[in-house]
Amino acid sequence: MMKNINYSYWISTFKAFKKNKVALFFLYIIIGLIAFITIQPFLPDQKSPNAIYVDEATGLQLINKPPSKEFWLGTNSIGQDMWARIWAGTRISLLIGFTVALWENLIGLFVGLIWGYVRKLEGIISVIYNVLNNVPKTIMLILLAYTMKPGLLTIIFIMCISGWLDSARLVRNLVVTIRDREYNIASRILGTPIYRIVSKNILPYLVSTLVLKTTLSIPAAIGYEVFLTYIGLGLPVSTPSLGNLISEGRGYIVVPSLRYQLMIPALILSTITVSFYTIGNAFADASDPKNHF
């Protein structure tokens, strides 16, 4: 019982997390990847991801060159440097992933708490949820494409508009199952204000699920960007992302010498997803107090 005296929830959570060596390994990979893509443009001998390189002797574009000293990963079909494009693409995709995941889970948490806890608003929020959930995102996306400039902000904006629905539903379902537990009824009878019940009784119960949801939202947002590019609504080619790198590379799967143009972005995307998936699951386990001792 001695160690219960100095019990701190977060310290114990991190301790439990550190015991999971596989998750720790993936955490280092993500940290390493973020560090690398941040400093990569400032390293020596880096090329611009959008410049088109031309052979000085003939004046022709350097199309689909194999990896060389000059172009570390070769060039693509219009003579751009693949090495620079791949890392610029990873940067953009991770930026989309983090922004969208944070936003949708914050809004989702807020709406979900109200949806689950305030009975008077339950009906109306359910109808809003069903309506938003059933209006195809593609329609909104195309309409926004008419009114806004296609680009990074538009993509992030459209993902945020409807992205919070899933988190809100998840939080709502959890809140509904615990709102009438005895300790909450006791708090209510004692006249505890709602914000205190929510922050002290309900929020701690949601931590593990929300952390898991957020870590899964990051790769999901990146994957959604790949899907949008696939149906022709993604980022313009001038903004490289894992989505448009993969859709450019798809055609090369039949050409053995160029297959790497698909495989490398695909490999980075898979590494990011596997990492967040493992970290999220390990953290969700670690944040359960039953696993602290």
Residues that bind other proteins (CB under 8 A): 119, 123, 126-127, 130-131, 133-136, 138-140, 142-143, 146, 180, 185, 188-189, 219, 223, 226-227, 230-232, 246, 250, 253-254, 262, 266, 269-270, 273-274, 277-278
- Whole-number minimum distance, CB 221 to other proteins, in Å? 12
Select 59 or 232, whichever has its Cβ closest to other proteins. 232
Q: Which is nearer to other proteins, 188 or 292 (CB)?
A: 188
Q: What is the largest CA-CA distance in the chain?
A: 85
- Which is closer to other proteins, CB of 10 or CB of 293? 293
Comparison of 62 and 220: residue with beta carbon closer to other proteins: 220
Instruction: CB nearer to other proteins: give 106 or 264.
Output: 264
Q: Which is nearer to other proteins, 11 or 267 (CB)?
A: 267
Q: Compute the Cα dihedral for 130, 134, 138, 144 and give only its sign.
A: negative
- Nearest distance, CB of residue 78 and other proteins, angstroms: 22
Sort 87 into a burial class: Cβ within 10 Å, 0-12 / 13-18 / 19+: buried
Separation of CA 29 from chain center: 16
Say if residues 84 and 49 touch (Cβ distance below 8 Å): yes
Rounded to a whole number of angstroms, the CA Rg of the chain reads 23
C-alpha span between 87 and 93 (Å, rounded): 10
What would the two tokens of residue 253 be?
A: 């799967």
- Pull the structure tokens for residue 131: 């309506």
User: HSE of 187 in the Cβ direction (CA atoms, 13 Å)?
Assistant: 17
Q: Which amino acid is at 250?
A: R
The CB-of-26 to other proteins minimum distance in angstroms stands at 11
In single-letter form, the type of residue at position 184 comes to N
Q: Give me the residues paired with residue 61 across strands.
A: 54
Rounded to the nearest angstrom, the gap between the alpha carbon of residue 104 and the centroid of all alpha carbons in its chain is 10
